[in-house]
Amino acid sequence: MEKRYTFVINWKMFFDFNEVIDFVSKNLDRMIELSNLFDAEIILSPSFLEIYPLVKIFSKTKIKICAQNCSDHIKGPFTGQVCVKSLSTLGVYSGLIGHSEIRRYKSETNEMIARKFDLLLDFGITPILCIGESEKDNKSGDVFRVLEDQLSGPIKIVASGEKKINGRPIYVAYEPEWSIGTGVTPSLSQLESVFAWINNLVRRASPNSNWKFLYGGSVNPSVSVEISKIRFVNGFLIGRAGTNFEEFEKIVKSTILGVDG
């Protein structure tokens, strides 16, 4: 069966409010065309403040909006946090959780991430769970131990069968920390073995769930085609290259057409 690819742009804090709106306004028609013509699933992840205008702008299109984070609490005295229920009310499709920049700068733990995963499912939002090892863990051969620790909480939640998932995809984005924003990507053979291992782990625990796997870390048009052909890779989580529409367009087109951009 042909793969249907997913492309998530994580704009992080690269743009301010006006810049996001400008970017979207300038490239609106071409974005919609990409999502229609190439049947690509395109998911945009702006910061919280741009979520509402973007949900409105894209409401009649196939382009979906993702939050970059959420609170691990349902409600209460948690100053500065954003609750999952509000994201759901606004029409947010998916939520990034466990991004390495939040694990690192906000000391986020696997337990907190599992609580966010649980809440997103409760409110009908599709989780995009980011996992990935540090350079140190990679060098010391600890990759699979780290990934298993990061996956075990969410896997238990899915495997318990207690959540109403109704066939909705559950995305796992493998993003080695040492590849994010560095211009360095793992070798194809490293990626093949990591994705096969992740696939095996999650499907053993919950064979009937709709698991989807993304690769993230310095994705650009010259590496995307080869990575997209790896078994089990369903698409990309894209940071820096998503701030330049032409680059993003090349990634989407070349991946889908299977020829270098």
Contact between 130 and 237 under an 8 Å Cβ cutoff? The reply is yes
Name the residue nearer to ligand PEP (CB basis): 132 or 153. Answer: 132
Stretch that binds ligand PEP, among 71-79, 142-150, 235-243, 252-260 (CB under 6 A): 235-243
Region 36-75 residues binding ligand PEP, contact defined as CB under 6 A: none
CB of 229 within 8 A of CB of 256? no
**Active-site residue, selected from the candidate residues 99, 101, 108, 177:** 99
Helix or strand or coil: residue 40? coil
Phi-psi region of 139 (alpha: psi -120 to 50; beta: other; left: phi over 0): alpha
Residue 181 near ligand PEP by CB under 6 A: yes
* CA–CA separation, 142 and 149 (whole Å): 11
- Whole-angstrom distance, CA of residue 89 vs CA of residue 87: 5
- Concerning whether 99 is annotated as a catalytic residue, the answer is yes
Q: Should residue 172 be labelled a site residue for ligand PEP when binding is judged by CB under 6 A?
A: no
The DSSP secondary structure of 202-226, one letter per residue, reads HHHH-TTS-EEEEEESS--HHHHHH
247 in catalytic set = no
CB nearest ligand PEP: which residue? 239
Question: Pick from 81, 62, 59: which is nearest to 72 by CA?
Answer: 81
The binding track of 206-225 with respect to ligand PEP, each residue x by CB under 6 A or -, is: ----------xxxx------
Q: Which x/- pattern, by CB under 6 A, does the window 119-138 give for ligand PEP?
A: --------------------
Q: ∠7-187-142 over CA atoms, to 5°? A: 100
Among 70, 180, 227, 252, binds ligand PEP (CB under 6 A): 180
Considering the candidates 101, 175, 177, 249, report the single residue annotated as catalytic: 175
CB of 135 to ligand PEP, least distance (A): 14
- How far is residue 130's CA from residue 215's CA, in Å, rounded to a whole number? 9
Q: Using CB under 6 A, which of 175, 194, 213, 248 touches ligand PEP?
A: 175
State the residues that interact with ligand PEP by CB under 6 A: 10, 175, 180-181, 216-219, 237-241
Which residues are the active-site residues?
99, 175
